[in-house]
A and B are shown apart, each in its own frame.
Chain A
Amino acid sequence: MADVTFTVDGKQLTAPKGTLLIEACRKAGIEIPAFCYYPGLSLQGACRMCVVRVEKMPKLQTACTTPVADGMVVTTESPEIAQARKATIELLLGNHPLDCPVCDAGGECELQDMTFKYGAHQSQFVEIKNHREEQQWSPVVYFDRPRCILCYRCVRVCGEGMDVWALGIQNRGSGAVIAPNKQDHLECEECGMCIDICPVGALTSGTYRYKTRPWEMSHVSTVCTHCADGCKTTLGVRRADDGMEIVRGDNRDKSGFNNDFLCIKGRYAFDFASREDRITQPLLKQPDGQFKPATWDEALDFAGKQLREIRDTRGGKSIGVIGSTRITNEEAYLLQKFARTVLGTNNIDHHRTADYPSFLAALKAKGQKEASIRDFADAKAILVLGSDPTEQHPLLAWQIRNNVRNNQARLYAANHQDIKLRRQATGFLKIQQENYGALIAFLAGNEKTFEGNANAAGFREALRKEESIVIAFGSEYRGRDIEALIAFGAGFPNVKFACLGDYANSRGASDMGLLPDLLPGYVPVTGAGSFMQEYGAALPQTAGMDMVQMFDAAGRGELAALYVASADPVKRFGVDPAALKNTFLIVQDMFLTETAKLADVILPAANLYEKAGTATNTYGDLQLVKKAGDKAGVRSDFDLIVRLAGHMGHDIKSLVPFGKGLLADFGQSRGTQSGEADRHAVWLTAHQLELKASPFDPFAIFDEIQRLVPAYDLPRLDLMAGNDEHLKSDLVQIQTGATRRDLVLPSNDTLFTSGTLGEYSQMLHSVMESRKQSPAETAAD
């Protein structure tokens, strides 16, 4: 739109026509206070904090509802304005409890800040304050009514942003009060958006409420460990007896592609980390079947010796390795390197939730582009095939909803269920579960009709008129269906694709070669040339066993050893425990999972919040993972792999090329609070190694990944600064795809489940228990 020119506080500014004065000022660095205004939500004009003087207008104007106009002359600070704002605050404080010393928001409260600035420290009111007890509305949401300043941000973000509409306003005037949808409690998505958006401490969370003061925490921004959308999250950590405890998750700094969005899992489901029953000592299984704590040296010596002996006597082919979808890229990479170079086996796999190899091969074959999660925020049109984003990809659903609401994007969706996102859809096609493949043939015009559905033709016609579109598809599509889908999509003049997997680093696990037939970057094991050169070692050249084959082999007594890093395949794949009775099993994990129970050696592992590295979301956005929490007695998977190799007698310098180049980690990626630096120092000195670049440095491995996997060769500086980088997936050199066995097993997680981690989150459990299953209510017209 055309620009207009206007003057604010004597400065000449320009902004596109229609821009709100408050936004134009903020862009120019002029801060206008606001309680009710919130970018991206509808305008409320309720609080009068944003008043400014506009020349030729009789009264003070609200900057949050006034669009800029040519020649407008505005004053944003003057005695008159300060007086008006002060009066507003005085009224707000009229019935405010002023319990700031115990309020969760104390120190981070917009009302405090404004009172500090405008100084309404005296009150003309003598009336007794109206007190109401705090109410618990759900396991997540608590409401302290007297603190509420009626800005309605919570009501709007829940309705407009989340499309849940669970909060309302009852009564009127000074008696007005925020009310939950079920009269005395809430039934909602428990995202906590309302809590974080509340400018004061009226809405508080079951997780953080009365737990600490904001200034007692350190804040670390890292990546959510739950679904594959990879939201950036800021974790508030506090010193505890046994390390650093995570007490809060939010993204109030709006950094990252998720802006201030997090779902319940990112915001509250970090409680697994501080559970009492975490494994914090290595455990060895005794002949009587009981686990006995052991020292690190005992456990690693034993595990290392056994592995070495099995390798030397029965060969690498008799050993299997199972990796995780929630470890860093560096760990996944290192695990496959360990398997292939130290153990000498290609028997390596992970729980696959999407067929990324077929996807990337199809993209490559058709010369098509992959979509970043950012693309969904401003795409003109979006097609979602399969999946239920609201449940499985909450951030994707948020991006789509906002794009539809704020930019009038057109959403098309086809699904076998009535997914909630259909409310935003321009076109929705309900299909049979087995017809996802047939749907593509129909959309591509190869079929005249589809399921005898009269609406299908209209859907196709509208869809095919789009010129610029982003297509996301769920695990309903694999192999040849993906090939067909990409071929169909390639017909749009401007198109990008996204393949939806399930876990935080599902994509990384696949990209980093936790696959029996593919090396990092999807290089086939048969063509490992560049890898052998880099590693200076021979690699096994025939494809190994996949997950299913490994357990079959174990059942036949042909798998002598299995090394499982932070995964629970026994539970996820329903493996018969008896199958593993003749297999030497090493498991590293946080908890005594079904798999860990069968182990001979258990090594206590750290989770994604307790380590540094990088992770890739399902859209190919690479982000930095930083260490936030810490638990005495546990080690990162990276650390454990290196140590295990060391105890097998392997030269760890050939595993982690540390000390090469200038990009080493000097401790900065680990956070100040970890105490890990000391542990390193002791270990390093004992091994006569240099202190400045350690074998536990994930960035030594990241260097190697960048050398060997062209798609990951991205600008490092931006990444280190906390920005996301989109993979150069067009550089993936993959040929095979559709003909591989995909072995995809969708997690079928909902908003309140999260694979193994979810089982250990008390918060997710209590939400599910408190919920009487009721169908989602519809929005108002």
Chain B
Amino acid sequence: MAAENTTIFSPQLAARFDRLVTLYPVKRSALVPMLLYAQDEIGYISDAVVAEVAQRIGITELDVRNVVSYYSLMRTKPVGKYHVQVCTNISCMLRGGNELLHHCSQRLGIGHKQTTPDGLFSLEEVECIGACSWAPAVQVNYDYHENLTPESMDKVLDQYRAKASK
């Protein structure tokens, strides 16, 4: 099994994975959590992630790719430092989600699933993120921003830009 010195993950994550595969009656149940943790650490699900996860679970790389491609929340390309996910599902749409998306696109100069040249921001149109009560909502990495307008969205973006230049 993947010895620490051959893993592409941090020692902490590798240790976590070592344990994860022992928790389920069949090893492959650990697949989705493993992929999500890996994505958080590496930024996306690279070929190397696919290979190591397949090896740790004892399934084919094809099996891993089948699952990765099924879930839209798993990505196989790097994203920006701040990944801006704008919801345009029904509640958000009714409360200006589409306009918000358009606005972000204008401000950042990128479209759906694109990244700014400086690598700071990437944009994605997503389905419901479970914040309907405070629609329209945007998720940046794991943080939520709610009840947004184009103006308040600008502030959110500026905040992240400022955070990055510190």
Measured CB to CB, the residues of A under 8 A from B are 165-172, 179-181, 183, 777-778, 780-781
Contacts and interface: CB of A to CB of B under 8 A. Distances in A.
B28 A179 contact: no
A166 B62 contact: yes
Interface in B81-139: none
Chain B, interface SS category: helix
Given A780-B28, A781-B26, A165 B60 contact: yes
Interface of B: 26-28, 58-63, 65-66, 69-70
Chain A, interface SS category: loop
B66 A179 contact: yes
Contact of A781 (B59, B69, B70): B59
A181 B66 CA distance: 10
A168 B59 contact: no
B60 A169 contact: no
A781 B65 contact: no
Contact of A170 (B59, B61, B65): B65
Given A780-B28, A781-B26, A781-B27, A181 B69 contact: no
Contacts of A179: 62, 65-66, 69
Contacts of A171: 69-70
A165 B70 contact: no
Given A781-B58, A781-B59, A168 B65 contact: yes
A674 B60 CA distance: 49
18 contacts: A165-B60, A165-B63, A167-B62, A168-B60, A168-B62, A168-B66, A169-B66, A170-B69, A172-B70, A179-B66, A179-B69, A180-B62, A183-B65, A777-B61, A778-B60, A780-B60, A781-B28, A781-B59
A170 B66 contact: yes
A168 B28 contact: no
B61 A181 contact: yes
A170 B61 CA distance: 12
Contacts of A165: 60, 62-63
A781 B63 CA distance: 11
Which interface residue of B26, B28, B61, B66 has the most chain A CB atoms within 10 A? Answer: B66
Contact of B63 (A180, A183, A780): A780
B47 to A, nearest CB: 9
A165 B66 CA distance: 12
B31 to A, nearest CB: 10
A137 to B, nearest CB: 12
Nearest to B69: A170
A778 B61 CA distance: 10
A259 B62 CA distance: 29
A168 B60 CA distance: 10
A172 B60 CA distance: 19
Nearest to B68: A170
A179 B60 CA distance: 13
Contacts of A167: 62
Contacts of A170: 65-66, 69-70
Given A168-B60, A778-B59, A781-B59, 12 more contacts: A165-B60, A165-B63, A166-B62, A168-B66, A170-B66, A170-B70, A171-B70, A172-B70, A179-B62, A183-B65, A780-B59, A781-B58
Contacts of B70: 170-172
A165 B28 CA distance: 16
Nearest to A169: B66
Nearest to B47: A183
Contacts of B65: 168, 170, 179, 183
Contacts of A780: 28, 58-60, 63
Contacts of B26: 781
